[in-house]
Amino acid sequence: RLVLAPLAGAAAIAVQVEPLDLATMSGGADAAYRHLAMVDGRLAWQALPAGGSGGTRPAAVPVRLRDRHGDALWADGAPAEAALRAGLAPLLGVHRQHDGSVAGMLARLGGTEHEAQLSLDLGLQARAQQLLDCIGLRGGRWDGQACVGGLDAQPERRAGLVLLDAGSGDILAAASSGGGQAD
């Protein structure tokens, strides 16, 4: 946050900013979780080493995730059935060892267990996923109950949708289609 309070009669305000060197600030510890790297001035994909950072992994602890209304999203090492149907497995975690997922990261924090409530609305997420699959992927029309018309989804087609609460900035839904199956 930057607050400017120019003195009366000031003719100009000059602000000089520089980007933070996040690699230096984190000591490079975050590199173990980055799939993208800068190589010769260009973004490049890098496979992450098996098992995360290569050090000794802390024992995973139980994680429970709920949506903004308290509906279960993740428990007992797996996404809830409703969360699976709503397309949330890639975000929440497809299984207990999904290190890059929300549940996977919380499970590695240590402690005895973790419970988190996300800003997602499971009902809106499910509907957003249905609409995205219908309209964005198949080119169909949603009649309020089901997808009408449209074609078989083309394998190269991708679609994404993020629904934000304009007042709070909360992410209410984050749907994605056409990326294949997460496992």
State phi, psi for 144 to the nearest 5 degrees.
Answer: 100, -20
∠ CA 124-169-167 to the nearest 5 degrees? 90
Overall domain count for the chain: 2
Query: Any idea how long the chain is?
Result: 183
| Tokens standing for residue 168 | 């709070």
- The amino acid at residue 146 is A
Domain assignment of residue 137, given as a range: 122-177
Bridge partners of residue 66, in order along the sequence: 72, 117
What are 157-179's pLDDT values in tens digits?
888 889 999 989 899 999 988 66
Structural contact between residues 50 and 59, judged by C-beta atoms closer than 8 angstroms: no
Beta strand 141-142 with 147-148 is antiparallel
State phi, psi for 58 to the nearest 5 degrees.
Answer: -70, 150
Whether residue 109 is found in the same domain as residue 134: no
For residue 40, being part of any structural domain is answered with: no
Q: Which of 72, 92, 117 is the last residue of a domain?
A: 117
> Does the structure show a pLDDT above 80 at 59?
no
> Does the structure show a pLDDT above 60 at 56?
no
Confidence class of residue 70 from pLDDT cuts 50, 70 and 90? very high
For residue 113, being part of any structural domain is answered with: yes
Put simply, whether the predicted model's pTM sits higher than 0.95 gets the answer no
